[in-house]
Amino acid sequence: MLQDLPVWLAHFRSQAAHPRQVPTTLDDTLSARERRLIAHSIATFQLGEGSEGARLRDAVRRHCARPEDQALVEIFDLFIAEQQRHARLLGEFMEDHEIPGRTRALSERLFRFLRRCGGLEARLRTLLTAELVGIVFYRSLEVVSDCRRLQILCRTLVADELVHVALESQLLLAMRSRRSALVRGLLGGLEYAGVTAAALLVWLTHRRVLAAAGYGPFLFVRDCRSEYAFYLRWPPTANRGARMTRPLSPHGS
């Protein structure tokens, strides 16, 4: 699987013992205008972060038949717990600002359906797509409000999600390395198309927040694709030097 699984395991154990905190002394003022702007979107993403992850756990356990891969089982148990912690942090913010939760959302239902399809590789591909798009969204959410608590909350979520994406991309690249060049190219194209479709869906359903952050649909799709290319090197002809610098949002955050 991965030679550095012990390093990943040490990281997630450390994060579980000492998770990133959002200081309680931060300014927590959210204007009525900001609340109206973000309420729908933050409730949708909170719903998506709260998955129990039972099917992902099952897929990981089925994939990890060798003793040396068992560390991955614990890694994903800790990974899922971290995602659920994100849902709690968002939920606490929503509760404090009287933002109602959601029980269903089209984008969340679609991602959840896709995560149920196929084995571990297919599930990782869907999870990676959702988190890549989520990173760009959270950066956008940060800049549309002057609420310091929300800004630091978004940065906290992005910091964790960047680690998640690094792990998922390493696993996908390791799985892909066993395939022929033709199959690798086809899978890369499929992933790239998936990121494009997911970005368009998220822009359509959260366009008020994204437009307020300076994103039109083409710019949002471009930045989501740039995130994907940084981690998974697609398109294959992309300049290698572009991987040395993280893609920035239109606001440079």
Residue 162 belongs to a domain: yes
Residue 253 belongs to a domain: no
Residue 151 belongs to a domain: yes
Q: Kindly state the average pLDDT of the residues 150-156.
A: 97
Looking at the chain, the whole-number percentage of residues with pLDDT higher than 90 is 60
Residue 144 banded pLDDT, cuts 50, 70, 90: very high
Residue 1 banded pLDDT, cuts 50, 70, 90: low
* 253 pLDDT above the threshold of 60: no
Looking at the chain, the whole-number percentage of residues with pLDDT higher than 70 is 86
* 251 pLDDT above the threshold of 50: no
Average pLDDT, rounded, for the chain: 86
Closest-CA residue to 147 (of 42, 233, 44): 42
Lowest mean pLDDT among 11-20, 41-50, 117-126, 169-178: 117-126
Lowest mean pLDDT among 29-38, 99-108, 163-172: 99-108
- What was the pLDDT predicted at 240? 41
Domain count, the chain: 1
Lowest mean pLDDT among 73-87, 124-138, 186-200, 234-248: 234-248
Q: Provide the CATH number for the domain around residue 201.
A: 1.20.1260.10
Radius of gyration, CA atoms only, the chain: 18
Residue 45 belongs to a domain: yes
Residue 21 banded pLDDT, cuts 50, 70, 90: confident
Q: Give the structural domain span for 92.
A: 31-244
Separation CA 90–CA 75 (nearest Å): 23
Q: Kindly state the average pLDDT of the residues 33-48.
A: 94
Separation CA 117–CA 77 (nearest Å): 20
Q: Kindly state the average pLDDT of the residues 89-102.
A: 94
Residue 130 belongs to a domain: yes
Q: Kindly state the average pLDDT of the residues 233-241.
A: 54
What lies within 8 Å, CB to CB, of 125 at 6+ separation is 172, 190, 191, 194
Angle at the Cα of 158 (from 3 to 64), degrees rounded to 5? 30
More confidently predicted of 35 and 237: 35
With beta carbons less than 8 A apart as the criterion, state whether 26 and 149 touch.
yes
Residue 250 banded pLDDT, cuts 50, 70, 90: very low
Residue keyed to tokens 């992309």:
238
Q: 3-state DSSP call for residue 31?
A: coil
With beta carbons less than 8 A apart as the criterion, state whether 204 and 182 touch.
no
With beta carbons less than 8 A apart as the criterion, state whether 150 and 141 touch.
yes
Residue 78 belongs to a domain: yes
Residue 19 belongs to a domain: no
For the stretch 245-251, contacts whose Cβ atoms lie closer than 8 Å and that sit 24 or more positions apart, written own/partner, are: 247/223, 249/136, 249/139, 249/140, 249/143, 249/213, 249/223, 250/213, 250/214, 250/215, 250/219, 250/223, 251/139, 251/143, 251/213, 251/214
Q: Kindly state the average pLDDT of the residues 77-100.
A: 95
Q: What are the phi and psi torsion angles at 142 (to 5°)?
A: -60, -40
Q: Kindly state the average pLDDT of the residues 65-76.
A: 85
Residue 148 belongs to a domain: yes
